[in-house]
Chain A
């Protein structure tokens, strides 16, 4: 096993990084791949609650780095899927507790134990973000169709390139198709044109995300949820399957229109 390391980041906080990380990890593990999710947001951990694993934490990322436990002891096995693991962030420390070199060393050890490593980056462009992208093979930038989120995404994309971790890939989260139709939300193709990186997924705004997070049940396990389906499709794309955007949300629902900017969507099922 030699895992690929994928870091999820955004610049701006609150755009859905943790939800996307938890659900991409869950969805790829559901394919039968061995996945480790690392919460790199030291001091503000949340990946544990989104995955519903907050009661199982004994050791954390900083404990591993500082040698208080072995790597395997800090890997919490998911309740539902034995192929999914979480390494939680420390809650009582801060970002300076670990360095980019620590993260690279930790991931190199982990690569032998898994197929995929997903790192949930903290917001911002400081140490925590640098820690999160240091070991990355692929960096995914999450944004919302909102002026401040897009601007911050652009900043982070520039830094990722400067760090030679680019080109980053883009997920646009919390799209409101009705608002796009009215012209009151910046269009997907405009965001892609402005940021000029490859789009690997679009996720609609979906109330069910809050409901599922309330329960600690990842939305990607919900067959009926549109957001869940969108994230499952991104997971399959990362896994290497060629899933056209047309298939993504065009099964006769409101997403047909917003995906119609991709020419191939017309006439496809």
Chain B
């Protein structure tokens, strides 16, 4: 009963969808041998390297694994900081 109520109010996903989402993550890791931990390390390295050349906001950097069919992609979204010259 509590289960039903929480599902109604919290918009709890059904287990079929949960399975799909969990599988998406597991399969990417299985296929690439690349873990979430390694992704975090890569993100830190990437931020350090890019920051040496251009101003970025480290907290808004997003890096994730994506797949189209059986092809995996590494997607990085790195917003630049507003140039100070323009602000003046």
Determine if A150 and B23 form an interchain contact, defined as CB atoms under 8 angstroms apart: yes
Instruction: Tell me which of A151, A182, A184 contacts B23 (CB under 8 A).
Output: A151
Q: Which candidate, B26-34, B40-48, B78-86, is the interface stretch facing chain A?
A: B26-34
Q: In the bound complex, how far is the Cα of B30 from the Cα of A154, in angstroms?
A: 9
Expressed in whole angstroms, the Cα–Cα distance for A112 and B67 within the complex equals 42
Most buried by A among B15, B19, B24: B19
User: Within 8 Å CB of B16, what residues of A?
Assistant: 179-180, 183-187, 190
Contact between chains at A182 and B30 (CB < 8 Å): no
B24 contact set on A, CB distance < 8 A: 194
A186 engages B19 (CB within 8 Å): yes
Interface size class of A (residues with CB under 8 A): 20 to 34
A178, CB-defined interface residue at 8 Å? no
Interface of A is mostly: helix
The interface of chain A, by Cβ under 8 A from chain B, is 147, 150-151, 154-155, 157-158, 161, 179-180, 182-187, 190, 194, 196-197
User: Please, how many angstroms separate the alpha-carbon atoms of A86 and B24 in the complex?
Assistant: 39
How long is the Cα–Cα vector from A185 to B17 in the complex, in angstroms?
8
Q: Are B30 and A155 within 8 A (Cβ)?
A: yes
Q: Are A194 and B15 in contact (CB under 8 A)?
A: no
B70 within 8 A of A: yes
19 A-B pairs in the complex with CB atoms less than 8 angstroms apart: A147-B22, A151-B23, A151-B26, A151-B27, A154-B30, A155-B30, A158-B31, A161-B70, A179-B16, A180-B16, A183-B14, A183-B16, A183-B17, A184-B16, A186-B20, A187-B16, A194-B24, A196-B69, A197-B70
- Given the interface pairs A196-B69, A196-B70, the reply to whether A190 lies near B15 with Cβ below 8 Å is no
